[in-house]
């Protein structure tokens, strides 16, 4: 069977963390629609009680004619991350793209509201997660001679007026700098590392935050992020790396 040349990610394998709902699910489905084999990773259940599982995302992809595998993984747990990557290699033999989307959001709480356990949980998910996942996939990407790592950033990571607060904004600022430094580190191996800032989204998680209602109509559905994520997935160090890009500017200031 010949590959469909119209599918931009034909022959590629992508891992999407936090793929049980919202943005992660939308990116996973977009990758699959473009021909990628997608590994959908998520914790077994949401600690906040939100609906959706990795299995459901994978089932939706297969029902649409795509190929996907669901894996349970807490990205802050090294053993689970290593197992996820090894299972991906066992199944597909390669890893071309990693989307570090999994994370937690704590908004509207002051420093004195946030106990050390909550602080550590956010840092573990939002910063340790991308570190562990990147560290686990990089040997395979280096062996292949190319790859693309996409880290989800945020306007709250570089603008304190966005309302991210001391915890969420701090973790996202750290992800931004982690990405810039990692891009320089792996450039020689032809691996791209970029930060995608999706902007305001209409997701289940966002809907649970009271103050998001004030700009709800200006927000976009998670599916709107798909094309920009596909563009970044196709990059390597020779084409586009070390960039913080805004989804809203895709096709205008970048990705043209």
Residue from 41, 76, 154, 169 carrying the catalytic annotation:
154
User: In the annotation, is 154 catalytic?
Assistant: yes
pLDDT (0 to 100) of residue 7 = 94
The answer to whether residue 255 sits within a structural domain is no
The answer to whether residue 77 sits within a structural domain is yes
The answer to whether residue 7 sits within a structural domain is no
pLDDT (0 to 100) of residue 55 = 96
The answer to whether residue 254 sits within a structural domain is no
Measure the CA–CA gap between 137 and 142, rounded to whole angstroms: 9
pLDDT (0 to 100) of residue 222 = 85
Position with higher pLDDT, 51 vs 60: 60
pLDDT (0 to 100) of residue 2 = 45
The answer to whether residue 243 sits within a structural domain is yes
The answer to whether residue 1 sits within a structural domain is no
The answer to whether residue 236 sits within a structural domain is yes
Candidates 103, 115, 114, 51; CA nearest to 74 is: 103
Tokens of 75: 């990205």
The confidence band for 87, taking pLDDT boundaries of 50, 70 and 90, is: very high
Percentage of the chain beyond pLDDT 70 is: 88
Measure the CA–CA gap between 12 and 3, rounded to whole angstroms: 12
CATH of the domain at 54: 3.40.50.720
Tokens of 15: 């891992």
Residue from 172, 197, 228, 231 carrying the catalytic annotation:
172
Residue from 168, 179, 197, 206 carrying the catalytic annotation:
168
User: In the annotation, is 41 catalytic?
Assistant: no
42 near 20, Cβ under 8 Å?
yes
13 near 97, Cβ under 8 Å?
yes
User: In the annotation, is 172 catalytic?
Assistant: yes
Structural domain of 36: 13-249
The confidence band for 53, taking pLDDT boundaries of 50, 70 and 90, is: very high
**For helices 22-33 and 226-233, what crossing angle results, to 10°?**
60
Number of structural domains, the chain? Answer: 1
The answer to whether residue 6 sits within a structural domain is no
Tell me the pLDDT tens digit for each residue of 26-49. Answer: 999 999 999 999 999 999 876 666
DSSP-derived secondary structure letter, 142: H
To the nearest 10°, the Cα dihedral for 69, 23, 192, 68?
A: 10
The confidence band for 164, taking pLDDT boundaries of 50, 70 and 90, is: confident
The confidence band for 16, taking pLDDT boundaries of 50, 70 and 90, is: very high
């Amino acid at each position: 069977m010949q590959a469909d040349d119209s599918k931009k990610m034909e022959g590629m394998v992508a891992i999407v963390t936090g793929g049980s709902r919202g943005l992660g699910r939308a990116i996973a489905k977009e990758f699959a629609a473009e021909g990628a084999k997608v590994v959908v990773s998520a914790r077994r259940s949401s600690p906040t009680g939100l609906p959706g599982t990795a299995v459901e995302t994978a089932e939706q992809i297969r029902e649409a004619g795509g190929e996907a595998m669901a894996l349970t993984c807490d990205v802050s747990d090294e053993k689970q991350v290593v197992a996820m990557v090894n299972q991906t290699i066992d199944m597909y033999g390669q890893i071309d793209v990693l989307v570090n989307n999994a994370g937690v959001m704590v908004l509207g709480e002051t420093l004195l509201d946030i106990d050390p356990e909550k602080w550590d949980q956010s840092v573990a998910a939002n910063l340790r997660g991308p570190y562990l996942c990147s560290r686990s996939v990089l040997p395979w990407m280096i062996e292949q001679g190319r790859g693309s790592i996409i880290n989800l950033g945020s306007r709250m990571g570089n603008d304190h007026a966005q309302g991210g607060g001391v915890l969420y904004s701090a973790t996202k600022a750290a992800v931004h700098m982690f990405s810039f430094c990692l891009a320089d580190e792996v450039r020689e191996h032809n691996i791209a590392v970029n930060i995608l800032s999706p902007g305001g989204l209409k997701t289940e998680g966002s809907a649970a935050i009271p103050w998001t209602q004030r700009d709800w109509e200006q927000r976009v559905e998670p599916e709107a992020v798909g094309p920009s994520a596909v563009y970044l997935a196709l990059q390597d160090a020779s084409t586009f790396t070390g960039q913080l890009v805004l989804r809203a500017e895709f096709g205008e200031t970048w990705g043209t």
